[in-house]
Homo-oligomer: A and B are copies of this chain.
Amino acid sequence: MIIDCHGHYTTAPRELDQFREKQLAHLHEASQPVPAPLNISDAQIRESIEKFQLKIQKERGTDLTIFSPRASGMAHHAGNVATSAEWARVCNDMIHRACAMFPKNFVGVCQLPQSPGVAPANCIEELTRCVEQLGFIGCNLNPDPSGGYWTDPPLTDRWWYPIYEKMCELEVPAMIHVSASCNPNFHTTGGHYIAADTTAFMQLLTSDLFKDFPTLKLIIPHGGGAVPFHWGRYRGIAQDMKRPPLKELLLNNVYFDTCVYHLPGIELLTKVIPADNILFASEMVGAVRGIDPETGNHFDDTKRYIDAASALTDADRRKIYEGNARKVYKRLNSHI
């Protein structure tokens, strides 16, 4: 079985974005109407999935996508805590409907109602609802709700502890995933995502977070940002700081996905990061949608790179494709 741990509902019917536009318009100008409750039919959802994610799963030979709302759409910097609460509920309910329609192919991960300057404890209610009532198996945690200005405390601050406590209690992991950047210095998918992955890892390296939460599991997407490419730098910095070796310090709790869109990148990832810490992912339909002229295949068809990666044994591939996902997303096992 091949589990893709990183898929967003980027193809949702346009009524979802229209709802968001109206929500923000009303927020900025009270005379604008409150958006009507979302009115999207099952047929619309079915079509939006069958034509894209489901079709691509079949073409590429993958089986199950761990599915969450569009990451750039979370935009926690927009509006306030009530805005984020409503928007998270609406988006998570859409994921729930899509997953319920295709239960063998999709399982849900939730967006959290984060807001800059608001303690993440406010996300516990929505996380609990999604896990206990909607059957979701994880969450996306945004390390920078400000959208590129990095004004909240780092992930290792006690500010975040209540949400980690709840995650551990519910046995769900988080993917550390920023949303859209509203800072012109950071292009969303080319700058902000990759920079955030990298700095999140470094935050973890300098802290004892996993002493406090030994069962907490965090996935750093996009292959861990720059981390595998600079694995020597991170090993060296940890050593200079008298920290334990990275394997001991972080690798019982931190995982990297395979959203790296060329074979040399996957070759590096699978050479330097233990196979036990890599989860298969493509982020389709996502940041890069075209065909690589050098290979004739889609950039984000990452299964081809994993199949070709010379450092991997068949046992490694089974871990990357399925075993590790079942270990990290523990609730997956009661689904499928």
Contact = CB atoms under 8 A, between A and B. Distances in A.
Given A153-B184, A231-B265, A267-B268, 19 more contacts: A148-B150, A149-B150, A150-B150, A157-B184, A190-B206, A190-B233, A191-B202, A191-B203, A222-B233, A229-B229, A229-B269, A230-B260, A230-B261, A231-B262, A232-B265, A236-B261, A236-B287, A237-B287, A240-B288
A257 interface: no
Interface in A174-189: 183-187, 189
Given A223-B230, A265-B229, A194 B198 contact: yes
Interface residues of A, number: 63
B187 A191 contact: no
Contacts of A236: 261, 287-290, 292, 299-300
Interface string A285-313: 00111101110000110000000000000
Contact of A190 (B143, B195, B205): B205
A154 B231 CA distance: 28
Instruction: List the number of copies, as a whole number.
Output: 2
A46 interface: no
A318 to B, nearest CB: 23
Contact of A150 (B186, B194, B293): B186
Task: Select the residue from A203, A239, A262, A287 with max chain B CB neighbours within 10 A.
Answer: A262
A322 to B, nearest CB: 24
A265 B150 CA distance: 28
B150 A185 contact: yes
A230 B265 contact: yes
Nearest to A155: B185
Contact of A199 (B143, B157, B185): B185
Which among A184, A202, A235, A239 has the greatest number of chain B C-beta atoms within 10 A? A202
A82 interface: no
A70 interface: no
A226 interface: yes
B229 A206 contact: no
Scoring A149, A198, A240 by chain B CB atoms within 10 A of each residue's CB, the highest score goes to A198
Which 5 pairs between the two chains have the least Cβ-Cβ distance? Answer: A232-B262, A226-B226, A236-B288, A195-B195, A232-B261
Given A149-B149, A187-B203, A198-B198, A235 B265 contact: no
B199 A192 contact: yes
A134 B198 CA distance: 38
B191 A199 contact: yes
A315 B264 CA distance: 22
B237 A190 contact: yes
A144 interface: yes
Contacts of A260: 229-230, 232-233
Nearest to A262: B232
Contacts of A294: 235
Given A199-B185, A261-B236, A289-B240, A222 B230 contact: yes
